[in-house]
Amino acid sequence: MLDDSENRRQAERYNYRGYCALHSSQDSIPAHIINLSNTGALIAVLDDHKLQDLEPVQLQVELQDGEIALLSGTVIHRKAHFIGLKCTPDSEADADKLVRFLAEAVTIHAP
């Protein structure tokens, strides 16, 4: 049986260790990507934060090729220094960058 987090997933997540910045109306927080898809991400923050569930945020992801992809969404869950996000690319250009990046990630990490 699937737990709630697996039921909510709309796209396959890919493990990716990279840098990002999470922007809210109150703060800008440096963070690390744990996993990523075109509909969400799990990130880890090192500093304390005051983010709340369902808070709107923007995620600035540094892709491996040096490009930046912007995603907007909401905080779905928080546990210790992990934050789960439901988000989508801000523009068609950001979506294209993310799709290309994830396609390459599948090729690189395929068994």
Domain extent listing, the chain: 4-109
Q: What is the pLDDT of residue 34?
A: 93
Helix, strand, coil distribution of the chain in percent, nearest 5: 20, 45, 30
- 109 confidence band (pLDDT: 50, 70, 90): very low
C-alpha distances (whole Å) from 88 to each of 48, 57, 99, 107, 110 are 25, 11, 11, 22, 24
pLDDT in tens, 41-50: 999 998 888 8
Q: Is CATH 2.40.10.220 correct for 4-109?
A: yes
For 97, phi then psi, to 5°, come to: -60, -45
Q: What is the pLDDT of residue 7?
A: 44
Residue range 1-35, pLDDT digits in tens: 334 444 455 667 778 888 999 999 989 999 999 99
62-87 mean pLDDT: 93
